Structure 1
């Protein structure tokens, strides 16, 4: 039977016992620390969890009950953010180890339980719940607008497009990509805090108009979808919505005593007409948005498969990129990774550049998307690893040491069945010290093919290679994956670091990410460090490493070698506290 302690408490917990165990002592101790309890047998759990917001679950292990482990497994699967504390009259060490292995959050022996112990248990596990809840929120919600974030949008768009891919969908879908004209200039003049206010207002206006899925992709860029029945004219409906959006977004934004007008540009791609693949559809809508911006301010453009100016540009760059791979026209630049406490270089990130024979130095943003799309990223990735190996060897010969040399690894490279064997041959050929080598993965790499990527990571880790998670905090990270995968460091995305000086949300996010990294025993690295104010903030909250223009931009190998030999640090000392 269900029973409950009726005393009101914000910390309500659920006690699960299917063995008829006397719960009086546990009830009294929980009540003494203001934790109200409800009791139930295991078959009543689902009903109660739907009705209440339990902060903690106490599960009676019941030595005579062989279902305890399966019950624990069910609870961890169904309620991953709610800590599960196992309890019994007495718990042997082997029993404790068994339940912890099956992801119990904590354990208590009733015969050894007192007020001090139960206070520790409650406090510790509420802290765990807060961490897990923060992670779930970061995974799903854009912290500035409260909307669905980019990663959740991608998942939902993929789900919506799946029937199209299977030829089971007779409806149609329009994807809109929207951003403001002149936002970057406004942001540069007035600062990030002012820009954030505009973005939030923009989100509010779009929410009132959007009939379906809407998200903030980043900065001032938003996406939304519109679906239509077979009898509806999707293009006509999309055009009408464009006019409504253009009208709503040309209304002035209030900033202090000023009225700021920032019109928008809209790009549209259609499924199944243009594509049924989420990546392609997003890319096409982005192309259309850029085309709208080229035409005039405050306009929209529906993707044109045959007359896309940006498609022509990609067609031109593709054969040049193939030639560049064959002729090895690339160069590896290095951006120092610095110990915040003393300014010493402890590592670097290797970043590819294209030395075009006619156009000069080309940055990766201009050619990596094409390399990803065509698969050229695979041979380029092998060249990067080979060059990094040679450079590590040259540093060693010069008597210079670094602890970490990180290289970006694309999810497309994991699709190459020879990845691990090829990397192993390169390591052996160039005598690469794998304890120095570190592969950077983006959260999207883990998301695209989680099992496949995970298997590749584990195989490469056997070679002694470390891994870091790039752009951490932007939304994909799975708490369980961070625990299971051999990821040694987390890199806080530059978008959050940029806002710590004047954005309270960004400050709280960065502090939460640092705490999470520490709790997982991961190194934490801040990307995009540009000001001493950012540096002081990061140092005050325990971030130990950083890279960014405050220390150095990415530089050619010879210049990096000189930096490593002579040292590099900020000119002013780090503040002791905020």
Structure 2
């Protein structure tokens, strides 16, 4: 081997160039190989990370719904990636594998780090990347772990080493040029990719794409993978945007619906459904606000408690439709009597209304409003071609004189209302202290009345009825009495209206009917004319659906002749809802009962019902009999009633006969029957049976007058 100095310059230059180029090529090849291997390593890491992220996005929904089969199918799709040898899904809080995929050619594999390690972990043979899974509501579901084989990486090392050696041996003289070229070929695409990644990171624009390389090398795969990753992210963001838009739209709509529903529920919570007036809760709330304002400004308030007279009778007789229509009309008329929005009209329930008058100058102004209300309700309401009349009873309490809180003012106004009812109804009364005592007494009597049936405190008394022509007893009217341990013998005028208001008149009336029929059976004697018994029917009884069944059952149980039972009805009872009344009366007649009209002449002026209804008897009210021998008008009316009844083939009973002169006139007018203190006062059953043993000689009384 020649020494270097002995070589020619050409060889030296050649040797130097060769050595230089070889060294440059060696270093360049080495640098290229190292750089490329680093890029490959990064590409593998990025690839496994991208695959993990994309797979996590696609399986989260399935894991959320425990869909093992679909999750496994999605994992099996990783078979298209040669580097992926193992994929496992762990669902929180379980520690076992929820779903997995393992390349068939791979041997038994194990993770190189816990699945909770959410970072890239590498070993000599494998790369591992773990990704947490979240539900659409961002609830933690578990983890996805991918394991990639690094063998392709080592294969690349061998290939590049061989290529580098061949290039060094064969192309040493082109090392410099080739190294420069290789540097450009390798680094330029990576730099392009890096710049694109930086731009995407800054602009957050996942619609950008890097132009693919015409070659089919790893750089092209990396470009394609990068573009695929951007496409996946863009698609994910698009779906998220659509989902968010839909969610926002749904939230907006639901919020609007909830606001609307909340307003509706709030309105319903504070208003009466039938009349749309404020209810008790809203009235109390407004009253409390008004009281606070009045205290601060030294003002006077008035609270009116309004109860509709005879509303229950109208509601029970004509039905709830008529009652509801009446309440709606009353509400409109009450509103017309107030200063809105300063005053408040409320419906507490049933036929009870309250009115709050703010800043009245003096209590007399409340009386003016009460009179206006009474006047406004005077006009009748038409319902199905029938006129309905309603009157109010109004109680008034004044702030601060009658109370300084809502409860006290309402209680005292209610007490004033009961005073108005007791004093004739259709009027108003201011609260006075004694009203509370009266209300307490009424409540006590109501409680005792409820116990009276159970404790057998009621009695049936009987007032005899005489045949004026024959002068003999033909029967008696049954009258209920209440012998209370606390109140002694309570007059009917005190407890009958209370029983009507509370509905207790229904069981009381049934008991009276059964008791009177039982007693009537004891009066009958062989060989003598039968004695009848007359029983009053209340309005509440008459409209009961089981009235006919009840009466028929009582008569059947006692084996009583129904012709001996007379049922007394008032004109005010039978006139409303005349068609239904007619059917009921016909049914009673078919059962064999006698029907009479009590207090005739004091109710409806129309006489057409006498022709239509199957009435047997008219009972002339005692108000016409009282001054019969002193008042020519009463005499004229009584003779007219008797004459009319005779023409209609009806019998007549004169009530309240107390003097012989009255009896004599009635005999002259050819009245059929007489009933009153002259003939006999109401008496207990035992006394009446004794009375039947020695009856009064009615003819002798009339002869004495003559």
The TM-score with structure 2 as length reference comes to 0.42
Structure 2 CA distance for partners of 1:430 and 1:300, relative to 1, 3 Å:
closer
TM-fit CA distance, 1:288 = 3.4
TM-fit CA distance, 1:395 = 1.8
Map of 1:192 onto structure 2? none
TM-fit CA distance, 1:237 = 6.2
TM-fit CA distance, 1:343 = 2.3
TM-fit CA distance, 1:441 = 0.4
Map of 1:471 onto structure 2? 599
Identify the structure with bigger relative contact order (alpha carbons < 8 Å, sequence gap 6+).
1
TM-fit CA distance, 1:551 = 1.1
**Secondary structure of 1:313's aligned partner:** helix
- Counterparts of 2:540 and 2:626, CA distance in 1: 29
Structure 1 or 2, whichever has the larger Rg, is 2
**Secondary structure of 1:538's aligned partner:** helix
Map of 2:501 onto structure 1? 373
Structure 2 CA distance for partners of 1:322 and 1:508, relative to 1, 3 Å:
same
* 1:288 matched to 2:452: no
Structure 2 CA distance for partners of 1:286 and 1:422, relative to 1, 3 Å:
same
- Counterparts of 1:368 and 1:461, CA distance in 2: 27
Candidates 301, 324, 333, aligned match of 1:169: 333
Candidates 663, 672, 675, aligned match of 1:544: 672
- Counterparts of 2:613 and 2:330, CA distance in 1: 33
Map of 2:487 onto structure 1? 359
Structure 2 CA distance for partners of 1:577 and 1:396, relative to 1, 3 Å:
closer
TM-fit CA distance, 1:456 = 2.0
Structure 2 CA distance for partners of 1:341 and 1:317, relative to 1, 3 Å:
same
- Counterparts of 1:373 and 1:564, CA distance in 2: 36
TM-fit CA distance, 1:504 = 1.8
* 1:426 matched to 2:554: yes
Map of 1:90 onto structure 2? none
TM-fit CA distance, 1:575 = 5.7
- Counterparts of 1:292 and 1:394, CA distance in 2: 42
- Counterparts of 1:492 and 1:234, CA distance in 2: 49
Structure 2 CA distance for partners of 1:556 and 1:576, relative to 1, 3 Å:
closer
* 1:329 matched to 2:457: yes
- Counterparts of 2:648 and 2:568, CA distance in 1: 18
- Counterparts of 1:371 and 1:475, CA distance in 2: 22
Structure 2 CA distance for partners of 1:397 and 1:535, relative to 1, 3 Å:
closer
TM-fit CA distance, 1:270 = 9.1
Deviations 1:21-54 (A, max 9, x none): xxxxxxxxxxxxxxxxxxxxxxxxxxxxxxxxxx
1:173 and 1:234 in contact (8 A); partners too: no
- Counterparts of 2:451 and 2:498, CA distance in 1: 13
What does 1:161-560 correspond to in 2, within 5 Å? Answer: 162=326, 165=329, 167-170=331-334, 236=364, 239=367, 281=392, 287-288=418-419, 301-302=429-430, 307=435, 309-396=437-524, 401-476=529-604, 478-560=606-688
Structure 2 CA distance for partners of 1:423 and 1:162, relative to 1, 3 Å:
same
1:395 and 1:401 in contact (8 A); partners too: no
- Counterparts of 2:369 and 2:634, CA distance in 1: 33
Structure 2 CA distance for partners of 1:428 and 1:500, relative to 1, 3 Å:
same
TM-fit CA distance, 1:536 = 1.4
Give me the CA root mean square deviation: 4.3
- Counterparts of 2:435 and 2:518, CA distance in 1: 45
**Secondary structure of 2:692's aligned partner:** helix
1:491 and 1:525 in contact (8 A); partners too: yes
- Counterparts of 1:305 and 1:271, CA distance in 2: 29
Structure 2 CA distance for partners of 1:448 and 1:366, relative to 1, 3 Å:
farther
TM-fit CA distance, 1:289 = 5.4
TM-fit CA distance, 1:305 = 12
**Secondary structure of 1:467's aligned partner:** strand
Structure 2 CA distance for partners of 1:240 and 1:283, relative to 1, 3 Å:
closer
Structure 2 CA distance for partners of 1:327 and 1:173, relative to 1, 3 Å:
farther
**Secondary structure of 1:487's aligned partner:** coil
Structure 2 CA distance for partners of 1:549 and 1:283, relative to 1, 3 Å:
farther
Instruction: Say which structure is richer in helix.
Output: 2
- Counterparts of 1:292 and 1:477, CA distance in 2: 25
Structure 1 stretches lacking a partner, 5+ long: 1-149, 175-229, 243-265, 294-298
**Secondary structure of 1:441's aligned partner:** strand
Deviations 1:48-71 (A, max 9, x none): xxxxxxxxxxxxxxxxxxxxxxxx
- Counterparts of 1:522 and 1:394, CA distance in 2: 28
TM-fit CA distance, 1:172 = 5.8
What does 1:58-69 correspond to in 2, within 5 Å? Answer: none
**Secondary structure of 1:574's aligned partner:** helix
Which 10-residue stretch deviates more, 373-382 or 444-453? 444-453
1:271 and 1:281 in contact (8 A); partners too: no
**Secondary structure of 1:354's aligned partner:** strand
1:269 and 1:303 in contact (8 A); partners too: no
- Counterparts of 2:337 and 2:472, CA distance in 1: 53
TM-fit CA distance, 1:444 = 1.3
- Counterparts of 2:528 and 2:331, CA distance in 1: 59
TM-fit CA distance, 1:234 = 12
- Counterparts of 2:423 and 2:652, CA distance in 1: 40
